[in-house]
Structure 1
């Protein structure tokens, strides 16, 4: 068979999957081909394992979304360049480049952060192709208008919902994804910087203004993603939006409670939610008793308003614990002292809860030498199947804090799952990339459901 010459990137088609055009990165250094897939789930068909998934074939375009089903021919565990290990399903499907069609193996992977939606590995090219790395799209090329014609893309219809994202940095992954997901679902999305917003309190015409004098009263919903340093002011804005009739995804009281580790721990305890044994005292005279109360060192010392693993210290001896606790107290800083769950081995679970359901979960693994698993500090994430007990615990934790959206952190111990903390503004990057689920769209869908239920 005569080999065809291809460039470093080419357009191809996967007709069985109804993908009529997708640009692939040609990579002879990779053994297996892979394609960007999200919302992956398995099911049985005629006694065999199949997989459902969605493919977004065009980079930076979520409006073209292909729903697919394929028989699973293999599974492989792969560690991505970001350090996230994931189990990938392998499928077989016909590939067409130019006039040539043959069957290849493809892994379903989250390639959202990559420059190409599909990678063509050497197994698919053996005895069929010659690569000229100095050239691109030697076989065929498509313009954006041709792609729209191929996929029958029409101008999106707006639903009329106006949704504000109240945050500080529009460039953060989570904020960009929420804006993108809302727009792709047909909504008008507005980024509102917390510190550029201000309030007019008036019994007849209460208003929220934005820098420059614009009044922003006409929003249907608000997604608050306020950073800890502006919690007080951000919650004041959230209460104001609530008072003028906007639906708020996580109200101010719920956010305030979740950010006060002492208050939230008391709420969990009151509601029968198991947490690691925790102590709190004001006087240095009680330090030794508090250490004893949580079963002694090693133990964890937490600032009451710590986030993303910052302000959390492991004290390995009682003497070290006394020194750290008393140092914090001398600075008039409030802390919690908590038992150390050694058997967890630097692992914890992040469960993402939306509207009373766990929609995704991952296991986070600490870097070597660290005791706390946190992706922001170099930890890795793996897809994990949580138990029904862990699922119930995550849902209950979000419910008692009255959070519509929450990142619930659990730890596995010898006495069962324990709740570590609940985050009212959970990040999307780690969990979306590890699970391949479109969490941002699920959050927008929750807003749609709440607003439609009131009409």
Structure 2
């Protein structure tokens, strides 16, 4: 018992292996596990083992002091917070130093912006080593303000890079991880901003965007919106708020909004001289027969206006099947497009990736046997393809018509020449980077640098 360290309910400790010289911890024997505040959490492989890298702002309400950490990953488990919220967290093992004693502890990594402490010391880490006097605080002493400044506020005269936020929903997606990685490799300060954790203050004098826990998202140079279809309305509202704060958005909120409206986007493309497959749109089921005739009869494609990634796209091979599908959708009050079927495409299409007015990569997508639509999300295959000057011209023109700095442009080869199918404002990187071996994420970061004339 005499060998145990006596601590109060709040103490300062350190994590020498992580490069954290001092951090204030809440000592909580009611909590089983220990938790450390972490952002930009990214798993990776090192010497054949699983590791995780993450950032920590060790001082509460201070985003300028940042420590970049790496640790061996030992587990990934579901943890229940004090509020009853269940969350899957990465678990690391590292050295804890407190009161002159050092031992190995397990830590779960989570965003603790909404908590009063960056560190929670739970009973598993204390067992056999610590006694808690809950009426006391800082029994082991406190670092002076001068010492904290020395650790965390060292003046750095040169700005190392731009401060870029990736506005998305899932940090685990290949595309999001690659963008974070590409920005960091080019020397920028990258932050993953989960759409669901952001909220806004609309005010004439001090408009703001807050992050979970009340942290104000200020001092960003740029944001990269990667908005999933189900979050289009809210994601575009957040992007507009960043734009109001004079933060550069790689794709603007207006461009994303119009790209997500399939009918409006097709009308825009036609107005800008881009050819598309003949398309029909109607509200009443009474017009079904003429709608089918309008696009050249069956077989034809029926598309839900709200569908994404190949979902909500149906091939109707006969007139009767077309009538059944169209009327079924109409009975559900669903908005649909009816489009001519390009048989000669033979289940293949092209994805051209446009960044800042240039085609930086292209691939051919081929449908699985028996499928009519090429889609990697639905099991299709991707391969390198040589695209024509005309196809490049169409892709660039389409991105410009939609006012998108970054766009995935889908083109189909027909007997009439190349026809545009769709323009995607948040195109995935995995298929096209894998097929072409090109650093497309890096090209996106370069487009931001160009806007700031960054060298």
Range of TM-score over shorter length: 0.5 to 0.7
Distance in 2 of aligned mates of 1:328 and 1:158: 55
Distance in 2 of aligned mates of 1:241 and 1:306: 27
1:406 match? 407
1:65 match? none
Which structure has the higher relative contact order (CA within 8 Å, separation 6+)?
1
1:41 match? none
Q: How does 1:159-174 map to 2 (within 5 A)?
A: 159-174=160-175
Q: Deviations over 1:299-321 (max 9, x none)?
A: 00001121111110000001100
2:176 match? 175
1:371 match? 372
8 Å Cα contact 1:358/1:394 also seen in 2? yes
8 Å Cα contact 1:276/1:418 also seen in 2? yes
> Which is greater in Rg?
2
1:298 match? 299
1:266 match? 267
2:185 match? 184
Partner SS, residue 274 of structure 1: coil
2:313 equivalent to 1:312:
yes
2:245 match? 244
Q: Deviations over 1:215-265 (max 9, x none)?
A: 002100000001000100000000000010110011111111111110011
Report the CA distance shift for 1:251/1:58 in structure 2 as closer, same or farther (over 3 A): farther
Distance in 2 of aligned mates of 1:158 and 1:185: 13
1:333 match? 334
How far apart are residue 158 of structure 1 and its match? 6.4
2:426 match? 425
How far apart are residue 451 of structure 1 and its match? 1.6
2:236 equivalent to 1:256:
no
Partner SS, residue 426 of structure 2: coil
2:217 equivalent to 1:208:
no
1:28 match? none
Distance in 2 of aligned mates of 1:318 and 1:158: 64
How far apart are residue 58 of structure 1 and its match? 9.6
How far apart are residue 159 of structure 1 and its match? 2.7
Q: How does 1:132-147 map to 2 (within 5 A)?
A: none
Distance in 1 of aligned mates of 2:253 and 2:306: 16
How far apart are residue 207 of structure 1 and its match? 0.5
Unaligned runs of 5+ in 1: 1-56, 62-156
8 Å Cα contact 1:166/1:226 also seen in 2? yes
4+ residue runs of structure 1 moved beyond 6 angstroms?
A: 57-61
1:385 match? 386
Partner SS, residue 320 of structure 1: helix
**RMSD (Å) for aligned C-alpha atoms:** 1.8
How far apart are residue 271 of structure 1 and its match? 1.4
Distance in 2 of aligned mates of 1:175 and 1:160: 19
Q: Deviations over 1:25-68 (max 9, x none)?
A: xxxxxxxxxxxxxxxxxxxxxxxxxxxxxxxx99999xxxxxxx
1:276 match? 277
Partner SS, residue 386 of structure 1: coil
8 Å Cα contact 1:354/1:406 also seen in 2? yes
Distance in 1 of aligned mates of 2:243 and 2:218: 11
Q: TM-score, normalised by structure 1?
A: 0.65
Q: TM-score, normalised by structure 2?
A: 0.65
2:453 match? 452
8 Å Cα contact 1:158/1:187 also seen in 2? no
